[in-house]
Amino acid sequence: MTAKQKSGQRTSARQELKPKSAPRRPPVMSARALAISVLARVEATDAYLNAVLDAALDEFRLADARDVALVTELCYGTARRRLTLDAVLRTVSDRKLEKLEDKVLAALRIGAYQLFFTRVPKHAAVADTVEALDALRLARAQGFVNAVLRKLSALPGLPGVTHADEAVRWAYEESYPEWLVRRWVRQFGPERAHAMLEAGNQSASVVIRANTRRTTRDELCQALLEMGVEVTPTRVSPVGLVLPKVGKLTEVYGYREGLWQVQDEAAQLVGLFASVPPRARVLDVCAAPGGKACHLAESNEVTALDVHAHKLDKIRSEAKRLGLSERLRAQATDASKPLPESLGTFDLVMVDAPCSGLGTLKRHPEIRYRRAEEDLKGLHLLQRQILESAQAVVNPGGLLVYAVCSTDLSEGGDAVEMFLRSHPDFTTESPPTGKIAFPLWQGHLRTLPGSQGWDGFFAARLRRMY
């Protein structure tokens, strides 16, 4: 054996004896630094807050596990109160907020949120927020942020507004664009509108739907209670449970086993409202993210379509976890155009249409700042196009269910009325009488944000007569 071979043998032996390196642990970040990073990214990319926050919590490690709750509160609370916070910040800042770096502006908002909307001591709200900038390599901005937040901390409380116009006051106090406040007051009246504004600023409950292919709600409820998870049944949906704050949902009992899926009670009611008969052929034309498609697949075979091919992987993954893969087929199709003849016709077609999302502001607070009143016209046109495509594949005697996660009448009742005018072969019908006390409005399903804790949804059952 040559010296070179011996040397190589020794090297190989050393490599075998060398212990394997431990998996790289995620870098540690403080709660406020992580919250600043999350809000800055949401602002810069127009991404959804929940998606960015979930990704950040996976990427970074917090010094204290309890800080997950703090990060969540800072992100969602600050996002909900953004308009109010910006109005106050403008009164004390010598720089225009629009000119600031995203992370600097996020730090100011987070600091102001703590000062006016939490019980965090004022000195900690200022000092800890300023310190977080150093961890984010923004030490150059610490003096400015410190000066602004100290001015705010000297105030006795959140400055009020004495404007004579009620809508202007509510827009400031509840942090909503003025156009939306006026629209809700016009559509629902002042009292109901104000209750909706307040509800949108509350923390959203985590609600799950029992997968009836594998369990019942009672069985799942009992199992979770035995695991120490204090769940409560939903008020109207017979398959829903409300979870307490539990940290990562993927670690809660039943997730890996596919016993449940996250879905708000109002969204559950849409699937139940459809009341699909056994063995019916079902089509969901706007299926992403897949909650309603999976719900329907618990009792029927479902074809799930979505225009975004990359979103279908999420639907397939959820179907596999829930044991529904053989009952749910997903494919990329643009439902705003005539559907392929190869699909055939269906006994039930679900149109969970793209919409403004104005019923989900509690879960997606950033939406209120991204929508303009003129957007509703464009969305209404898209909804009409999708309804037109969907109705063409409904069998005679079949059902078309139209749903939106919006409170706006133009996307709900008005859209249905316009559809019926041009399609005399369809008529609206109420759901079958049964044990579920659906919240109905003019025979349609309607949930509004308020004391029930619901998201805002609208759904209509449209029966093809011939």
Neighbours of 92 (CB within 10 A): 16
Q: What is residue 259's DSSP assignment?
A: -
Q: What are phi and psi of 460, to 5 degrees?
A: -130, 140
Q: Packing angle between helix 31-45 and helix 67-80, nearest 10 degrees?
A: 40
282 strand-pairing partners: 302, 348
Q: Which of 75, 286, 294, 405 is catalytic?
A: 405
Q: Which tokens hold the place of 282?
A: 């079902």
Query: ∠ CA 264-265-270 to the nearest 5 degrees?
Result: 100
Q: List CB contacts of 5: < 8 A, sequence separation 6 or more.
A: none
Distances 46 to 41, 59, 85 between C-alpha atoms, Å: 8, 20, 19
Residue among 207, 321, 326, 206 at smallest CA distance from 254: 321
Give the whole-angstrom CA distance, residue 57 versus residue 225: 27
- Is there a cis peptide before residue 289, judged by omega within 30 degrees of 0? yes
405 is catalytic: yes
Distances 38 to 53, 60, 335, 336 between C-alpha atoms, Å: 6, 11, 33, 34
DSSP string of 261-298, one letter each residue: EE--HHHHHHHHHH-PPTT--EEESS-TT-HHHHHHHT
Q: List CB contacts of 63: < 8 A, sequence separation 6 or more.
A: 28, 30
Give the whole-angstrom CA distance, residue 220 versus residue 312: 28
Question: Which residues carry out catalysis?
Answer: 405
